[in-house]
Structure 1
Amino acid sequence: MGSRYSTRIYCVFKSEIRRRQAICIWRRAKSWRDNGTQKG
């Protein structure tokens, strides 16, 4: 039972990291695109 609980925590932890990475990449791409449009 304890191992199943820890496995679920691990899955949530992994998905949270993946979501944060996606947000970071999205923000970076957005700022990069904004800078590119400003430069013209």
Structure 2
Amino acid sequence: MKRKIALTLVTLGLVALTACNTVQGAGRDIESVGRKGKEVIN
């Protein structure tokens, strides 16, 4: 029983870390598109 709980907590932690990295990467991509758009306009 304790092993299942520990495994569940570790899995949830890894999923949370992955989600944060994905959101952070998406933010960088959006910034990059904004910069390129600004360069094209100028």
The TM-score bracket by the shorter chain reads over 0.9
Shift of residue 26 of structure 1?
Answer: 0.1
TM-score where L is the length of structure 1:
0.92
Q: Which aligned pairs between 1:1-40 and structure 2 lie closer than 5 A?
A: 1-40=1-40
Structure number with greater Rg is 2
* TM-score (norm: length of structure 2): 0.89
Letter in 2 for 1:31: E
C-alpha displacement at 1:20, in angstroms?
Answer: 0.4
Alignment length, in residue pairs?
A: 40
